[in-house]
Structure 1
Amino acid sequence: MDLDGAARIGYRVEQSFRYAYDAPVTSLAQRLVVVPRRRHGDLYRRSHTLRVLGAEHVRRSRVDAAGNTVVRVAAARVEQAVEFRLTATLDRVVGDGPPRLPAAALHDPRVLRPTGLTAAGEAIQELASRCATPGIGNEEIAERICALTHAALTYEYGVTCVSTTAEQALTGGRGVCQDSAHVMLALCRFLGIPARYVSGHLIGQGGTHAWVEVLVPSRGEAAALAFDPCHGRRAGNGYLTVAIGRDYADVAPTSGTYVGTPGGTLTGTREVSVIDLV
């Protein structure tokens, strides 16, 4: 399929997360950031359902300050397992992107200040010294950062975790898409380039994906340009945005707490398909 040559694309996302427990648990409180944004540039959410199976529960949904849909689920008791199943349909109208923001977004501390996961240590600062060149703009610098990050990290699953910092990942030289995104964010923010973390889906990849949006001036506004440092390229029409934040911690797909015996098991499935192509 020639996704990058299409004018309009329809997608279907089916995703599930299942927590199984060795014994009944109580006071389950789950936070889910899995529902795609209502609109993100040229990408529109047309419909979605989110089912909770395995426990009597209450839920509430809100849109946070960044425009992400956050769903909170509470269950007094789970006997064996609880499962969250998302189905969503989205449309991409190619001429409607990229996302545009007020010019003030270029100076927003949330996209400029480092976080605990994106602070610049010696390794980040050394790599940053190879990125900036006088006389070139932030978009060109971002291209260079994306390429250098891709070259600096070898993809390897299981050597990092959700609390691994950009500095640790870069020093180790290995990691997953989340680590590549954090390294690129750390470099951008150290160099004063506004950037934000993106969570979502990449068609053809098994799990959820992460990449970066860099904010650049554009006709009196700010435009959010998407880069995938894990693959060393711009993000195209095979990428579906779910949420944006300062780093992974803001937009973790699923997180929560419960009271009970430790040792629950999390399994997940995900399928993204193209249902319309023009």
Structure 2
Amino acid sequence: MRLSVRHETHYDYDTPLAYSAQRLHLWPVDFAAQSTVSWAISAPGFDRALAYTDGFGNRVHMITFGDIEGPVSIVAEGVVDVEDSAGVVKGLNCAAPDAVFLRQTKSTTVTASIRSLADKQFAGRSVLDGLHALMAEIHARVAYEIGATHAHTTAAEAFADGRGVCQDHAHIFAAACRAAGIPARYVTGYLVTGMGASSTAAHAWAEALVPDLGWVGFDPANATCPTENYVRVAAGLDATGVAPIRGSRRGGTGERMRVEVRVEIAQQ
């Protein structure tokens, strides 16, 4: 499947922006089931960007710019070929040892209820069967509701409330996996939601390490493993670590952000 992606982020300010430094996770990495045909980022200072591959295998760009009075736009767009691998991720280089992905963060801190969730799903099951059961259980118990949570909501909070978005589903899944001793990583990317459809955010899911199979993706928000409708961009311990755009600024008070993501099927 050939997918076309356009991810636009626009910022408006009440006062001039004196200086800004931003880290971008906006460039897909190729692996066995995914190949980038073309990709480009348009942003202030991108021509001077520091580009590098981090310890998790993500392609990262650091940009700096300043002395801007008007709006700022950061646009990532391109075309990617994707195959349906039933969620199995092969051929992706990650320097970090697998055990790193057992580390809990503030966003994935395990509570008694999340530990109980993990214990029930993996009891008497193989790791792979338990992961599928965990994905289905999170999907059933945490309703997808835009606006119910925010960027800093933890897995424990979303699970207790029974509401959240894809970020929360992925955090809960990762937290439960790590509680069960299974390495898990948080993944950001894009998902085809319908012809001509757009959304106000990228998508998120999780990957877990399965013995004798390797890393496998699970999307609890949609109760499915990633297919050819998904574009994988970056992975880390949680959403904070692989946010599409994250940084700091001086000036630019009253910041207002608007995001539009469009993913379409370019060729089947």
TM-score normalised by length of structure 2? 0.90
Task: Note closer, same or farther for the CA distance 1:197–1:82 as it changes in structure 2 (3 Å cut).
Answer: same
- The question of whether the paired residues in 1 share the 8 Å contact of 2:89 and 2:217 is answered with no
Q: 2:112 aligns with which of 122, 139, 142?
A: 122
What does the per-residue CA deviation read over 1:255-274, in whole Å, with 9 as the maximum and x for residues that have no partner? 12111253211112221122
Match of 2:7 among 12, 15, 27: 15
Q: Which amino acid aligns with 1:173?
A: G
Q: Identity percentage over the alignment?
A: 31
Instruction: State the Cα distance separating 1:156 from its structure 2 match.
Output: 1.3
Cα distance in 2 for residues equivalent to 1:25 and 1:65: 31
1:159 aligns with one of 123, 137, 148: 148
- Aligned with residue 32 of structure 2, among 19, 31, 41: 41
SS of structure 1 residue aligned to 2:123: coil
Structure 1 contact 244–251 (Cα < 8 Å) conserved: yes
Q: 1:28 to 1:57 in 2, by over 3 A?
A: farther
- Tell me if structure 2 keeps the 8 A contact 1:58–1:75: no
Instruction: Summarize the alignment of residues 184-223 of structure 1 with structure 2, pairs less than 5 Å apart.
Output: 184-204=173-193, 206=199, 207-218=201-212, 222-223=213-214
SS for the counterpart of 1:45 is strand
Cα offset, 1:57, TM superposition: 7.4
Partner of 2:127: 138
Count, aligned residues: 262
- The 2-side partners of 1:108 and 1:41 are apart by 19
Alpha-carbon distance change, 30 to 193 in structure 1, aligned in 2, over 3 angstroms: same
Query: Which residue is equivalent to 1:274?
Result: 265
Is the 2:84–2:227 Cα contact (8 Å) retained in structure 1? no
CA contact (8 A) 1:22 1:80 kept: no
Unaligned runs of 5+ residues in structure 2 are none
CA contact (8 A) 2:86 2:225 kept: no
Structure 1 unaligned blocks of 5 or more: 1-8
Contact 1:149/1:180 (<8 A) preserved:
yes
TM-score when normalising by structure 1: 0.87
Corresponding residue for 2:102?
112
Q: Distance in 2 between matches of 1:203 and 1:186?
A: 26
